[in-house]
Amino acid sequence: MLLGLRNSFWAVFPMRAEIPGLALCALLVAGCANPPLRGTGDLGLVIERAAGRAQLVDTTHRTVIGAVAGLGDLSHASVVYSRDGRYAFVFGRDGGLTKIDLLRARVERRLVQAGNSIGGAVSQDGKLVAVANYVPGGVKVFSADTLELLADIPAVYGDGQRAKVVGLEDAPDNRFIFSLFEAGEIWLADLADPRRPVVTKFRDAGREPYDALVTPDGRYYLAGLFGEDGLALLDLWHPERGVRRILPGYGKGERRLPVYKMPHLEGWAIAGRFAFVPAVGRHEVLVVDTGTWEEAGRIAVAGQPVFVIARPDGRQVWVNFALPHNDTVQVIDTERRDIVVTLRPGQAVLHMEFTPRGEAVWISARDDDRVVVYDTANLVQVAEIPAEKPSGIFFSARAFRTGF
């Protein structure tokens, strides 16, 4: 190998007598050296919304290892990951779609594909990235490799009106599913041929669907309804059965409180056979039996829930809240269905994210400019990381989860 390197070297530098021996050795060593090797499975991004920047973090050592700037308007940013966990796709409010190389901590590609986007998803085979757009309403689908536009699905309904697209999720068999807010519809797009999507439309899905999730097994799509009490459910094994309403009128007969921040249903907790769901306009978490999709209980909490997320083993559910309780996080024991601790990580808690196996949870406290890390076994703070107006926290383990 060294002989080959020497021959290559002298082909470029034929004046051998002018190269000192020590310099030659240094050049040969540099040519053989490799950059440090590492995986991406314990990496993640913390969105610094005011700076248009993301911190690259190491969840094993609880450290910041880099930052990527120039990401545009991140006031409602979300992130998904490539199939191999190396690349992150960031969706910004300015319609920006940015592909970040985690190993090099740099922007690989970036384009502004719409006027206002609110999220996206990666297809089951990892080849496609779909973006949900408010302006103009619709979904655009790109090559995950090159960000080439492959399909444009306008969210047109009624007499030609455009609807905001919400609740965009990946589904098995290279499908994407999403809701149309103003139209009250759910659309299922088959991307077997990415340039010729086949769209099935489910009308009368409910008033103003505002966010959604796909269950971890990929079978059910659930959309929360802002315009009425209840949820819309579509069985992806049997879409021909249409949309079913569940939990109808869960707040019937009671005064609905003003909604200060919309719950994020992607953070619904699926723990065993039960789903723990934020109740819109109420200080409650609803418990739903996923075998029957009927209400199985309610848990009173400190305020209006925003994120209700389960530890990976399903043993705990962590909840944060809208104003005026947005300095508070509560932990629910899923077996007893009661609150075991109330924490105050900081001002304006916006997001929570568990490490891949759930031994820790990272919590962003926007107005305190920090991310706080808690040990989930003993419920104590174990680390604090400075960040400028942090919001969303997204770890690369999402690459291997349906609906994330």
What local confidence, expressed as pLDDT, does residue 34 receive? 56
Tens digit of each residue's pLDDT (9 = 90 or more) over 378-403: 999 999 999 999 999 999 999 888 87
Q: Is residue 11 over pLDDT 80?
A: no
Note the pLDDT of residue 48: 97
Does residue 22 surpass a pLDDT of 90?
no
Mean pLDDT (the chain) is 88
pLDDT value of residue 32: 43
Tell me the average pLDDT across 154-174.
95
* C-alpha closest to that of 182 among 243, 227, 120, 212: 227
Segment 161-170 shows an average pLDDT of: 96
The per-residue pLDDT for 341 is: 98
Q: Give the predicted TM-score (pTM) of the model.
A: 0.88
pLDDT value at position 361? 98
Q: What band does 118 get if pLDDT is binned at 50, 70 and 90?
A: confident
Distance separating alpha carbons of residues 17 and 37, to the nearest angstrom: 36
pLDDT exceeds 70 at position 19: no
Lookup: tokens for 129: 């990235």
